[in-house]
Structure 1
Amino acid sequence: MNFGITENFNSYGPYRLWWSRYEPCRGPKSTNLTILSTNLIKDGDFYYSWVNFTFLTQARIDEIKITVYALKNNRSNLLMRYKLDDPCQHFAIASIIEKQLNAKNCVVKKGNYSCYANFTEISYAFFGNSFFYGEYMQKITTLSKKGNIACIVLNSIFEKKTKPMT
């Protein structure tokens, strides 16, 4: 599968980034407003996320929570909790929600939506040269006041690049 990447992977930072776990999880609310199916696709050195949402009802995306844990020796240590109370006011997240889910003012209509994201490109753009080597687990939860929209757990591994990748 080729997603049209023409850049050389070796032009990205001094680290190699890959994922060892990627799966849906249960959200904190008792009601699910969507049916979610997702997959992480590896194409060469690049990773892509495919997500299919079936919104069972119209819903407003009110909040996104991200929790990050450092993983070492079968132990997890909480590093950070990040909460976006109004994701459609966020400089980067707002355009993703609007484009991928055809949302106006963070409201997504009932229906089926498929989204693709280049995890590799997004991650390198976000982390740049500010990162730590090691393995990390992120739990990303998207919520409406009415219920859960999405929950995904993924493990990211940062390794030092020792030689150019082929």
Structure 2
Amino acid sequence: MNAFDFTVEAQDGSKVELSQFKGKVLVIVNTATGCGFTPQYSELQEMYEELKDKGLEVLDFPCNQFADQAPGSDEEIHDFCTGRYGITFPQYSKIEVNGDNAIPLYKWITENTKFEGFSGPMSVILKPIVKKMDEDYKNNGKIKWNFTKIIVNREGEIVARFEPTASIKKVAEKVKEIL
């Protein structure tokens, strides 16, 4: 099984087969519009603009599971992201990434990745919040917070996971390495 075996839901409710991205490098990211990490949309867009012609696709999955930071409809979220951050990469229907209602793609991701640890100044704030939600957070593959980035190579295999506190520069370096 790999990332290209999954089907996800577009904002309009239509089904999108990820097999259409075979041969591309994917950055799969769960996002939120009201989060301290929301400005990462700008950095994701810059990376996308720089690398899309070389085979990068950014797949944006809004998720309201972390402190209700992605309120609103799919359309409202999309309008916010395109208006405020000018995103042009695909944005999908709002999903859950953990638990019984997680979409199959994210069930696969959480079963096949591990928590990479928080870094940087935001880790001081995020660690106690995440620990309150999941006492064993360091030892499982659950998504911990908004803007966790999963890197998938051209064959559909997960090659890296970056927690929201990781710099986009490190994400971009990894993407360039496998492009």
Q: TM-score, normalised by structure 2?
A: 0.25
Which has more helix, going by share of residues? 2
- Which fold has the larger relative contact order, with Cα–Cα distance below 8 Å and residues 6 or more apart in sequence? 1
Largest Rg, 1 or 2: 1
